[in-house]
Structure 1
Amino acid sequence: MNKNLFLAGILAATFACSPEKSTEMNTTPTTYTFLVGTYTDEETQGLNQLDFTPSENKLEIRTIYPGIQNPSFVLANSSGDKVYTLEEISNVPGGNIISLDRSIQTDKLTKLSELPSFGDHPCYLALSPEEDYLTVANYSGGSLSAYKISENAALTHLQTIQHKGSSVNKGRQSSPHVHSTVFSPDGKYLLVADLGTDEVYVYDFDANSPKPLTLNNTYKVTPGDGPRHLVFSADGKEIMLVQEMAAALEILSFDEGNISPKQRISLLSEGFTGGVGAAEVRLSPDGKNIYVSNRGDANTISVISKNTSGEYEFTQQISSGGIMPRNFNLTSDGKYLLAAHQASDDIIVFERDVETGMLTQTDWKVSVHSPVYLFRLED
């Protein structure tokens, strides 16, 4: 037999027996998961979970913890197995703070502890960077409370601080209204926005003290602004503060507990008339863009970016797609933004251009009763 023909036959047989390599990679579809806080009217309502799988055209929501009153704020620890929420109610001695165990396999929530917030209508929660302390803002109560978190996520009340004062809008600022509590990235400070007194309070945070919060200083905003929510830049040197009543975004410098103004940006389009209510502010995961929602008659989401000179400017202002965009959040990869509408009872998905930050509304939409907060769970 010809030697070359013999070798060719062996090679042909070898390749014929080898498994064929697939030209397509087997990938698991990406599902983004959010916990959804709501206002409730019925026992069947409560905390919800939203799952969004774009590649399978799925946007689904279900109630995972019913029978809770107005769980308007919800968050989880970094591993996703402990959840903290509240009941935004008025009572004696205030609303309630609840810790829950979350099964990673089944998403089932089981109550671990419940304590009063020591102030009416708790509306905002924050975990310390080490996830061993929890703070709550009591809106109607005009106070904030701090709790120690044990290993099993049980809560121990440590401290309640009552604010005092008022501001120029007698209809909305006749008393303190604590709207948010936010830890600095290094965990040394807790910033508290008080809509009623037009101040941002800077508290020193000492985890080794029986009462961990001590007032350092206050930063006074323009009277009538109504400071609501704020976020830090990744390096902790800038603060993005939403002024609810003025519908403005303040860019502030932050240096060792001291706040100073840098830039003020109106969230209103030229010639706009009507009611306003700036609500939420978020940074994109890549840090390139700031997103701010505005309610009232506006119902918009503004996209703001830093230009080459280091100042912030509008990139886009777009309809939120519903009524009263109280809250919104972005997916971890920054490809999508989900806007929750309290008044139109829906959540709308926007696609985000990761280069420019601009938004495009998609056809994805899901209905749910009074969604008012979206917490992103890690993918």
Structure 2
Amino acid sequence: MVINKMKLLPVFLFSLMSIPVVSQNPVYIGTYTKTEGHVDGKADGIYLMHQNAETGDLSEPVCVADVINPSFVKASPDGKNLYAVSELGPNDGESGFIHSFRRKDDNYLEEIGKISTESFAPCHIEIDQSGKYAFVSNYVGGVVMVYERDEQGILQKKQKIELDNPEASHPHSVSISSDNNFAYINDLGNNKVWIYNFDAETGKLSPNDTPYVDLEKGSGPRHFSFSKDEEYAYTINELNSSLSVFEKDSSGGLRLIESYSSLPENFDEKNSTADIHLHPTGNFLYASNRGHNSIVAFKVNKETGKLELIDHYSTQGEFPRNFAISPDGSFLYAANQNSDNISIFRINKMDGKLIRHLEPVEVKTPVCIEFSE
């Protein structure tokens, strides 16, 4: 029998076109590269991995930028750039730095700029909703910097904010509201969340009519998350292992509603919290415990902003610092700083529970996980 190959060809092409294409999401990993008082850094710089969006797998890490202690990395909203702090202390040089990179077509990085953060131990980067301005928090010295991004993504100094009581102040993060009108600075040392008005036209911050909200002495607010509708906000408090819930008013002010422990009732060993993220659905809130070595999950009451404990989940590693939820909300990845691995969980989108999904992936001293399109 003679087979007409020309007739089979369209069928063959159609079958190829029917094979689903699995998305491979680029993921950048911030690390520690040198030994500090709180960490034994072993990494080489910023690593690139790729996430299989269907299975949750991560590819082997590849170092794509040689930076000292790139402990926090942030992708620009337009996808063109990646920014990384260089967390340097007073014994390391004149200041910390923020590095600017151009993302190539293969997601590798080309450095295009480097600028001082005008203080020490920069530990967090935020970018406003327009993508025009970047904010850097220096853990040492009470200094928050505002930079303007040019068309290439290179940063230029716009404003320097010096917080009260600089010797004790430890600004750990800046968070910008979705309407781009307000900035919230978590000051771990002063136990305050500073509230600023943000002018997106000029890029300048100015104190809000309610300039700050106090937290309990010794709480140490570190990172911040908004509810889905932004009627509520949440802090993760490093020093007393708690989460605080605030009601947010139209003028940007915050009113403390309630605080919750991040730990099980029977745990009395040393612990410090690190990161906090709301699930893309807005239904669940997650936070990381360093010491208990877990992710704690809460259900969010959207009417009141209050939280209901779901459970605690071991990260199968030591000292989980930052973690990230995949863009589709299906997976959670936790960076275990002191055991050189990243743990992977599948998220049950119905009840918020975490399911141990795959064995942890080896990465040297990982501390920040950043998805980018």
In the superposition, the TM-score normalised over structure 1's length comes to 0.87
Identical positions, percent: 29
Asked if the contact 1:142/1:176 (under 8 Å) is kept, the reply is yes
Measured against aligned partners, the alpha-carbon deviations of 1:308-353 in whole angstroms (never above 9, x if no partner) come to 8743200111112110010111111111111110000100111111
- Number of paired residues? 354
Structure 1 match to 2:102: 101
User: 2:182 aligned with 1:189, yes or no?
Assistant: yes
The C-alpha deviation readout for 1:121-179, integer Å capped at 9, x for no partner, is 1000000100000110000122101111111111111211222238xxxxxxx611111
- Please give the secondary structure, in 1, of the residue aligned with 2:58: strand
Which residue of 2 is the match for residue 7 of structure 1?
A: none
Give the corresponding residue for 1:372. Answer: 367
Identify the residue that residue 52 of structure 2 maps to in structure 1: 53
Shift of 1:361: 1.0
Query: Which residue of 1 is the match for residue 71 of structure 2?
Result: 72
1:17–1:29 distance in 2 versus 1, CA, 3 Å: closer
CA contact (8 A) 2:263 2:296 kept: no
Could you tell me whether the CA contact under 8 Å between 2:48 and 2:108 is conserved in 1? Answer: no
Instruction: Confirm or deny that 1:40 pairs with 2:30.
Output: no
Deviations 1:241-275 (A, max 9, x none): 10111111111111122100122111111121111
SS in 1 for 2:339: coil
SS at match of 2:26: strand
In structure 2, how many angstroms separate the alpha carbons of the residues matched to 1:308 and 1:340?
29
Provide the aligned C-alpha RMSD in A.
Answer: 2.4
Q: Where do residues 176-255 of structure 1 align in structure 2 (5 Å cutoff)?
A: 176-209=169-202, 212-216=204-208, 217-255=211-249
Cα offset, 1:213, TM superposition: 1.1
Contact 1:340 1:372 in 2 (8 A): yes
Q: What letter corresponds to residue 152 of structure 1 in structure 2?
A: Q
State the alpha-carbon separation in 1 of the partners of residues 148 and 245 from structure 2. Answer: 31
Q: Distance between the aligned counterparts of 2:317 and 2:11, measured in 1? A: 53
1:27 maps to 2:28:
no
> Counterparts of 1:60-139 in structure 2 under 5 Å?
60-91=59-90, 93-103=94-104, 105-139=105-139
| Residue in structure 1 matched with residue 3 of structure 2 by the alignment | none
Match runs of 1:318-357 below 5 Å: 318-357=313-352
Change (3 A) 1:185 1:23: same
Q: Distance in 2 between matches of 1:308 and 1:140?
A: 36
* Alpha carbons 1:43, 1:67 under 8 Å: kept: no
- Measured in 2, the distance between the counterparts of 1:320 and 1:44 equals 20
2:165 paired residue number: 165
Per the TM alignment, residue 208 of structure 1 is displaced from its structure 2 partner at its CA by: 3.4
TM-score (norm 2): 0.89
In structure 2, C-alpha distance between the alignment counterparts of 1:23 and 1:64, rounded to whole Å: 34
Which residue in the other structure is 1:11 paired with? none
Contact 1:321 1:361 in 2 (8 A): no
1:24 Cα offset (Å): 9.8
The answer for unaligned runs of 5 or more in structure 2 is: 1-6, 35-40
Unaligned ranges ≥5, structure 1: 1-14, 167-173
